[in-house]
Amino acid sequence: MLINLSRHISFNALLMVLTLTVGCMLPQNSNAQFGVSPSQTSNFFNDLRSRNGQLKKSSQTAARSGDVVYDYEKGAYVSQDDQEGYQSLQQLLKSDRQISQPSIRSGSSAFAARSVGDYTTYSGQYSQSLSYFAPTYTSDPFLSGKRNLMLGPVNVGVGLYQSLEYNSNIRRTAVPVSDVISSTLLNVSANYRVSANNVLSFTGGIGLDHYFNHPELAAYGNGSYLVNVLPGTTLAFDVKAGPVNITFYDRMSMRPALNNAFVGTNNNSSFGVFQNDAGIAANWQINSAWALATNYSYTISDALGSQNSQFSRTMNTLHASLTYSPTATWILGTEGGVSFLNYIKPTLNGGTLFNWGAFVSVPIGKSTVTKLSGGTQIFDFNAPTIFAPNGPGDRSNLNSYYYNFSITNQLNARFSHTLTIGHESSINLASNFITADFINYGVSMVAWKGGRFSLSGYYENAKPSFTNPLFAGTGYKLTQFGFDLYYTHQITSKLRAGTGYHFGRAEYSGVVGRNADQDGFSFDLNYALTAKAGINLGYRYFVTNYKQSPNSSTQTRVILGLNYNF
């Protein structure tokens, strides 16, 4: 049974999405909490600033044919139309790390504890490479959306992905249950330029999963068909009023979320969540040196399923960012915001969440960029109304600091690497908040003609604000680390192969039976059938070994998929 969306999305918002989507069919791109985490706030404003330049550039170009060729020296596809460059190695890091991406059915246990309470996107250890205003997956990842058409006044790109998957252990448990799963995904990227400075756009990924034998094992839903709306699916209207660029947006997703509140030995328990972020953001270029950006959003998060309603919540968020850059090279700024959190049920505690700080971004030469930020976080939570074992009973508040340092170096067209170090707190599902220290490092390089190699590593030390062993035994301090290796080779202009390995270790102090090691292996083949169609074959094998627990498991996935870009 399809999940009824009508009670989650306002009629007007749904009507606008359907109108634009149907209109496009007619002939005529460090995780934590959005609204709470300083690093996520900073990423949002970076996306907003770059959005203005992208929209201006798009007004000067017509539809692109999608004719691309693979440049073996650069290790990426190059457009024959506009030669606007090739995907940077940074942009391709996401595909390199695909074996460890902890999205639906990935098999990976590399979840970031600091991201568990965030419903904005998948809670992976690595920073997302796509924009806040773009979905987490596109059907043509190696072509970077080059295929698009002009349908009357609408510039539109449409991609279709269809796969069949055999999964030997859906829930990754000691007693495996297998199934065959069909996944259909439609990617739409469309914009209608109402005037020279006003643009209506829709970017999204919407699809259906079908479990042939065990629909009850899906992360959410109670029938054979599961609706997926990828994080980043956004309807937006961009307006320019003098020196101010204004974006009205409605961002939605329906996806699995990680549940760390009511789990025993299973680190990967999940539930479904529908989230809608409606907001207005503005970027004012005050003069050649000063710029002010602001954002207000109202978020509704609806946990799907009667057993998970305690995670449903609303949040009002107000952000601001003021930057000074007199030479258009280095940037000095201050930014932060306040969020008002309210849970629909009183199991978890709502409150007022504030962060503010300063940052500086300095280029070193032509190929290195550094950024350092730091400030204060103040969380004031409501007194708990429900205590263990039915709730955490956490009375903790936060008055602490955060910092984030990153350095990215593009040594040459073949080699790039990036390092991120941070300390910050986020809201949690098993306590009021969780505080984490984390390190991410990634290297990507074109090893030789047609071949590209990447190495990524992560470390996280996280501690919840409250330990209550009666609350499902989830009081813990978590230390986890791991690395990912991935090699991809363009054998011919049409055939691409890739193989990877993932290792991850999670160590919980205070909880018996949850310490685990995981090894993962992957192999992929991608073949371009035509200029617009491609077929891929994927293999995944995960071994999760729980120490002091009988719940160790293995999982095998075989995936056959077809991409078609209209």
More confident residue, 316 or 131: 316
**Which spans in 445-558 are helix H?**
none
Q: What H or E segment, with its residue span, contains residue 475?
A: none
Angle, alpha carbons 218-222-223 (nearest 5°): 90
Average pLDDT of the chain, as a whole number: 80
Whether 471 has a pLDDT exceeding 70, the answer reads no
Percent of the chain with pLDDT over 70: 78
Whether 350 has a pLDDT exceeding 60, the answer reads yes
Of the ranges 5-14, 88-97, 114-123, which is most confident? 114-123
Q: Tell me the backbone φ, ψ of residue 524, rounded to 5 degrees.
A: -135, 145
Check: CB of residue 387 under 8 Å from CB of residue 393: yes
More confident residue, 24 or 318: 318
CA-CA distance, 275 to 254, in Å (whole number)?
6
Whether 5 has a pLDDT exceeding 50, the answer reads no
Taking CB atoms within 8 Å and a gap of at least 24, the contacts of 455-458 are 455/483, 455/484, 455/485, 456/93, 456/96, 456/97, 456/100, 456/126, 456/483, 456/484, 457/481, 457/482, 457/483, 457/484, 458/110, 458/125, 458/126, 458/482, 458/483
Mean pLDDT of 110-137: 76
Check: CB of residue 464 under 8 Å from CB of residue 434: yes
Mean pLDDT of 328-335: 92
Q: Predicted confidence band at 8 (pLDDT cuts at 50, 70, 90)?
A: very low
Q: In this predicted structure, what is the pLDDT of residue 21?
A: 35
Whether 379 has a pLDDT exceeding 90, the answer reads yes
Q: In this predicted structure, what is the pLDDT of residue 80?
A: 40
Whether 370 has a pLDDT exceeding 50, the answer reads yes
Closest CA to 425 of 59, 115, 6: 115
Pull the structure tokens for residue 115. 């991201």
Q: Tell me the backbone φ, ψ of residue 75, rounded to 5 degrees.
A: 70, 35
pLDDT tens figures, 434-453: 999 999 998 888 888 888 88
Of the ranges 302-306, 414-418, 476-480, 482-486, which is most confident? 482-486
Whether 423 has a pLDDT exceeding 60, the answer reads yes
Q: In this predicted structure, what is the pLDDT of residue 366?
A: 84
DSSP state for residue 51 in the 8-state scheme: H
More confident residue, 274 or 136: 274
For 288, counting Cβ atoms within 10 Å of its Cβ (0-12 exposed, 13-18 middle, 19+ buried), the class is exposed
Q: Which domains does the chain have, with CATH numbers?
A: 30-147+189-204+231-531+540-549 (2.40.170)
Whether 517 has a pLDDT exceeding 70, the answer reads yes
Q: In this predicted structure, what is the pLDDT of residue 99?
A: 65
